Structure 1
Amino acid sequence: MVEKSKLDEDKEGKADDPSHYRGMIGTLIYLTANRPAFNLQSSCMPAFTDADHAGCQDTRRSTSGSVQFLGERLISWSSKRQKSAAISSMEAEYIALYGCCAQILWMRSQLTDYGPGFNKIPMYCDNKSAIALCCNNVQHSRSK
């Protein structure tokens, strides 16, 4: 972009039709105001989480990421560096699941006034060891 450039009137150009612009804006307003109402009773709240193991080369800390949906709409997401260094990918994924679960529980408590509660909320993780630990959370020496 050239600095201090001046814009002049286009004397040879044709005049714009303001009714065309107003028509486009009116159509967009109509489309946004008349979209189908979101039905909380037939929706679910799936959540997806993932983490890397020791992604930071300096501190060896992992990064957690999660997304939460209400039906098909994304309503919350997070990407954070974990506060402690995980000794395995299972531990990094388990910490990510914990953060995602805390967010899901908070959202569920906020949505109780708007309709029926969400009994089962699916959470998806790509680490089989972390899923097994969530299903059977007996304290093991290798998963402290």
Structure 2
Amino acid sequence: MIGSLLYLTVSRPDIMFSVCLCARFQADPKESHLTAVKRIFRYLLGTQNLGIWYPRHSTSFEIIGFSDSDFAGCKVDRKSTSGTCQFIRQFLVSWSSRKQNSVALSTAKAEYIDLRSCVAQVLWLKQT
């Protein structure tokens, strides 16, 4: 079920965080994790009209990136969770939500780690 939800995150960024959070527990899932996955599916059933839409006509090519992270959000290993999204004009083109690879020692450090990945994605978008 998680694989199907991960596939859907390609066109549904609104479920990205919840799906990635559930994916962390695939090795040892509990009943509460199955309940969370079922809740995501119910949400998708009720919001079938949502998705990504890109209009044809647009004149500017402005790239904007946003990033945010928590500090030590995972209670098990104290790693932070990062999220980024990038827009061309006002249209969402790229997004991510992931657990950071290292333990940040402060909120600022967690934000800098997240900002680095956001800037890397913006620079890649500028090259293409």
Task: Using structure 1 for the length normalisation, give the TM-score.
Answer: 0.49
Q: Hey, what does 1:37 align to over in structure 2?
A: 57
Distance, in Å, in 2 between the alignment partners of 1:38 and 1:93 is: 32
Query: Aligned residue for 2:71?
Result: 53
Greater share of residues in helix: 2
1:59-92 CA distance string (max 9 Å, x none)? 0000110100000100000101000000000000
Partner of 1:20: none
Cα distance between partner residues in 1 of 2:79 and 2:117: 15
Tell me the amino acid that sits aligned with residue 70 of structure 2: D
Higher radius of gyration, 1 or 2: 1
Shift of 1:44: 1.1
- Helix, strand or coil at the partner of 1:69: strand
C-alpha distance in 1 between matches for 2:122 and 2:63: 8
Length, aligned pairs only:
75
User: How much has 1:36 moved relative to structure 2?
Assistant: 4.1
Q: 2:90 aligns with which of 47, 69, 72?
A: 72
Cα RMSD over matched residues?
A: 1.5
Gaps of at least 5 residues in structure 1 are 1-31, 111-144
Structure 2 residue 110 is matched with structure 1 residue 92: yes
Unmatched tracts of structure 2, length 5 or more: 1-52
What is the aligned-residue identity percentage? 44
